[in-house]
Structure 1
Amino acid sequence: MRRRQFIAAVGGTTLAMAAPSAGLPRRIGSGDIGQLNARFAKVIASDHQYGGRRSIESRAAALADEAMELQRHGTASQRVRSGLYACAASFMSSAMWAAIDGRRFAAAQQHLERAAGLAAMSGDAAIQFRIWSHAGSLYRHLGRPADALAANDVARNLPIARRDPLFASLGHARHAAIHGLTGDANAVRRSVGRAQDALDRADLEVTRPFWITAHYDQAELDSLALAASLSLGRYEDAEAHAHRSLALLRPHMQRSRAITSARLARAQLGQGDLEPAVATAMEIPPDLSVHPRVAGMLDRFGASLRTVGSDSRAARIWTDYSHDKGRSTA
């Protein structure tokens, strides 16, 4: 009930924005939608390469405003108007993800509220899935697994997740990562198994929204299984998932490669392999090691290394490396 009231409230706000302005409006058509989608693809590409930057967040939010300007000042069929709402919701979902990735959680929450309202008015199940799946990730990063499971369940219960195995697989994989926080190893195993089964059944030749085909595949499934395994303290399983993910990651997924490498280092450290862990962490390019999520992982890695082997050669190497890197980025 609260969710329906929330969507109705946000929807009313956004509909007010879409009221026609004075003067002769121009006709908005599918070509305008195509141009917006092309710009959305560029936002996605920037996110995969850099991730978390305020510039990506701001650009995506500004493009959502542009889509709503077309709503206010143009005339269009109902189909095109739904498409404009979907475009605005898509941009806001990217603004939300950039804020999550950059650890700006208050901003992410604000973007979620706007994105959910726009998506509800669009009637686009795919973008609704993306937004609620991102909401699950937001609450997972905030350490609120109950809210994360509830939000991800909204995504998983959408008709598109029942109809399309690729969407179902992503929903199950993100559920596994959330279950890792609860310490429920059986739930993690079930969710990873269901994600793998659905991915194996998915026809990858089917046309789908760019955001999911550019992001979700076997490498991402293993990355989420890696996160779950680390949360459970199952370091051997985590290392196996990490190696598989790194082997399959597409070249443009540089941010994802850095995150997976940082997690691999943690998995190796958890098994007592100090020097291999340090070597893995040092392989992360300096420009990616300052990414907010990666930097946080490496800080925690360093703290754990000092706890388990403060007098070790590996700890001394990491301390020297960290100091040198700090001077080079100052």
Structure 2
Amino acid sequence: MTTTRNTVLEAWMKDHGYSSNRLAEAVNTAIEQLTGRVGGHDGSSVRDWKSGRVRWPKAATRRALEIVTGLPATELGFVPRGRAQSAPAPQQEDPDMKRRTLVGGIAAAAAVAAAPGTAPRHIGMSDVDRIQGRFAEIIASDHRHGGQLGIEQRAAALADEALNLQNSGSATQRVRSRLYACAAGFRSSAMWAAIDGRRYDDAQRHMREAQALAEMSGDQAIKFRIWSHAGTMYRHLGRPGDALAANDVARGLHLTRRDPLFASLGLARQGAIHGAAQDRTSTRRAFDQAQDALDRAEREAPRPVWLTAFYDQAELNSLALSAHLALGEYPTAEAHAHQCLSALRPYMARSRAIATTRLAHAQLAQGDAEAAVASAMKVPSSAATQHARVSRMLQEFGAALRATAHGSSTVQTWTEHTAAWRTSA
């Protein structure tokens, strides 16, 4: 049997800078996330996919590829068994044509459009659970990679899928509310990926759609997530007034009075905003209150996966690190950095890279260039070259290092190290 090269996968790899070995490593890591065991792929496996010798990888491999790329297997050029290789790939819609308007599109999704003469399909909680199961994959991919355009696009597509399900049959109000909550959750993940990747115009577009969907769902937890993300976005944009206002909306939800863990996250993010605004007194008060709420939170209470997957003592210390670094309180920032890094869960690769970079900044600001460079060199090359926030912070670190330690051996060490990053990228 003749084979046809998978030129779609080859093009994706070229566009995103993946060699065969590097893609195999990423897929193996994603398989570990899914199954608990590291995958066994190597460069030859990827070459088999590109050559067409393997047209439809096993289910776990396909799911891992979706996590890495943010695209379904069929959009990577793979062909399900029994389908002709020559079948044309579905034409990609223009994202702007596909995107719903907040009023017309969402209202239309609420209507049941059953074809005349046919019994409408009944949408149940099993349909909701099926699409909600994909949410954990988006969360896991975000914590490992963070900020990637592929994650943003995949989350947005899943939001559309949840809304399209509204059109496919009849459902109870409870099911419809859950579907709106699913769509809002996916859209808020797209928003966060755009924030993390410094694509702020896209983030604000996702925010507006997520907010409308959350209102239609009535889900307090997803409302909290969206407004809390909005506060973080405005903080990164240097708009502390808007950041405080958005975060206050999240903190004003009655959910925060019912569950101290939500209250703690809202207070910790408030502290980070106060730090960016150079308000020392409010910063300390917010973090003291955040710590008290975290200490009171019941660990086993049922909560959404997006919250339990990341918010804990390590994340509180990460936000405190950001605040005290902004305030110029470098010894305190360094202490929070060490506390954060010692408590981070193993899969929090993106958070570890950010905290390590901030630690290097805090050490350099205290005059310890050697320790700062040693810390910065621990940031993986993948994060240093592919994560927008980390890349920018490391560029700022290099500029500060050259300004304060010009001509020293530490500057030479850092220069050689970053050159190796560019070579391996």
**Normalising by the residue count of structure 2, what TM-score does the alignment of the two structures yield?**
0.74
More helix per residue: 1
Runs (4+) off by over 4 Å = none
Q: 1:170: Cα distance to partner? A: 0.2
What is the RMSD computed on CA atoms of the aligned residues?
1.1
Structure-to-structure mapping, 1:211-222, within 5 angstroms: 211-222=306-317
Query: Partner amino acid for 1:302?
Result: G
Determine the C-alpha separation between the residues in 2 that align with 1:94 and 1:63: 10
The answer for unaligned runs of 5 or more in structure 2 is: 1-100
Correspondence 1:205-216 to 2 at 5 A: 205-216=300-311
Contact 1:28-1:80 within 8 A present in 2 as well: yes
Please, which moves more after superposition, 196-205 or 310-319? Answer: 310-319
Query: Which of 247, 272, 279 lines up with 1:152 in the alignment?
Result: 247
Report if aligned partners of 2:114, 2:169 keep a CA contact under 8 Å in 1: no
Is the aligned partner of 1:80 residue 2:175? yes
SS in structure 2 at match of 1:44: helix
Q: What one-letter code is carried by the residue in structure 1 that aligns with 2:279? A: D
2:359 alignment partner AA:
L
- Overall identity of the aligned pairs, in %: 60
Q: 310-319 vs 226-235, which deviates more? A: 310-319
2:396 — aligned with what?
300
The answer to whether the 8 A contact 1:177-1:227 is kept is yes
Higher RCO (CA < 8 A, seq sep 6+): 1
Task: Tell me which residue corresponds to 2:299.
Answer: 204
Distance in 1 of aligned mates of 2:148 and 2:236: 17
1:324 Cα offset (Å) = 2.4
What residue in structure 2 maps to residue 18 of structure 1?
Answer: 110
1:318 aligns to what? 414
> Bigger shift: 237-246 or 13-22?
13-22
What is the match of residue 45 of structure 2?
A: none
Q: Given that residues 11 and 121 in structure 1 are in contact (C-alpha distance below 8 angstroms), is that contact kept between their aligned partners in structure 2? A: no
Q: Post-superposition shift, 1:328?
A: 2.5
1:192-234 per-position Cα deviation (integer Å, ceiling 9, x unaligned): 0010000000001101001100010000000000000000000
Name the amino acid aligned to 2:422: G
Report 1:52-131 matches (<5 A): 52-131=147-226
In structure 1, what is the equivalent of residue 30 of structure 2?
none
**Deviation of 1:90 (Å):** 0.3
Give the SS at the match of 1:148: helix
CA contact (8 A) 2:198 2:389 kept: yes
Q: Which whole-Å CA distance do the structure 2 matches of 1:120 and 1:10 have between them?
A: 12
Encode CA deviations 1:42-99: one digit per residue, 9 max, x unaligned: 1101101111111110110000001101111221100000000000000000000000
Structure 1 CA distance, aligned partners of 2:164 and 2:384? 38
Query: For 1:183 and 1:294, how far apart are their aligned partners in 2?
Result: 23
2:141 counterpart of 1:49: no
Corresponding residue number in structure 1 for 2:56: none
Offset at residue 12 of structure 1 (A)? 5.9
Map of 2:344 onto structure 1: 249
**Secondary structure class of the residue paired with 1:193:** helix
Match of 2:272 in 1: 177
Q: Which structure has the greater CA radius of gyration?
A: 2
Q: Which runs of 5+ in 1 are unaligned?
A: 1-8
Instruction: Please report how far the alpha carbon of residue 163 of structure 1 lies from its aligned counterpart in structure 2 after TM superposition.
Output: 1.0
Amino acid at match of 1:313: S
TM-score, with structure 1 as normaliser = 0.95
1:50 alignment partner AA = H
Cα distance in 2 for partners of 1:78, 1:18 equals 10
Matched AA of 2:107: L
- Separation of aligned partners in 2, 1:29 and 1:266: 51
Instruction: Give the distance between the partners of 1:37 and 1:273, measured in 2 at CA.
Output: 47
